[in-house]
Amino acid sequence: MRALRILLVEDDSMIGMFLGMTLEQMGHEVCAIETTEAGAVAAAERHQPDLMIVDAALSPGDGAAAVALILAHRAVRFIFASGDISRVKLRFPDAVVIQKPFNDTDLARAIHMAMDAAPAP
């Protein structure tokens, strides 16, 4: 798989930092790590990522709402990371969702699944 420009949206700074390092070790570029819904929307516009990995439950804000706003302006592939995947699947039934906590193998599999899918309109 080619190296991807990835936008991380995670409100826990330790998880975001660890996930960013993991993605870089996998050969990807983390173009930004955002912690809020508004920050995610602005960063997606600014950085035009190939893929977004989004915490579904942000505080403040909502990761799913951020994805909906971003998709209204451009097609981009995304993965939701959540401790409660059933709630995410209600809003985005076809989304790739990774259950927290996850390991590197789960993450790599989710990235492949998201990149193999057609980008959301």
Distance separating alpha carbons of residues 3 and 28, to the nearest angstrom: 5
**Residue 118 predicted with pLDDT over 90:** no
pLDDT at res. 120? 63
Torsion angles phi and psi, residue 60, rounded to 5: -85, 160
Give 39's Cβ-side CA count (13 Å radius). Answer: 17
Torsion angles phi and psi, residue 17, rounded to 5: -65, -45
Distance separating alpha carbons of residues 96 and 77, to the nearest angstrom: 9
What pLDDT digit, counting tens, does each position of 21-79 carry?
Answer: 999 999 999 999 999 999 999 999 999 999 999 999 888 789 999 999 999 999 999 99
pLDDT at res. 87? 84
What pLDDT digit, counting tens, does each position of 79-101 carry?
Answer: 999 988 888 888 889 999 999 99
**Residue 20 predicted with pLDDT over 90:** yes
Mean pLDDT, range 111-119, rounded to an integer:
89
pLDDT at res. 14? 94
Mean pLDDT, range 106-112, rounded to an integer:
97
**Residue 119 predicted with pLDDT over 80:** no
pTM for the complete prediction?
A: 0.94
Distance separating alpha carbons of residues 82 and 115, to the nearest angstrom: 19
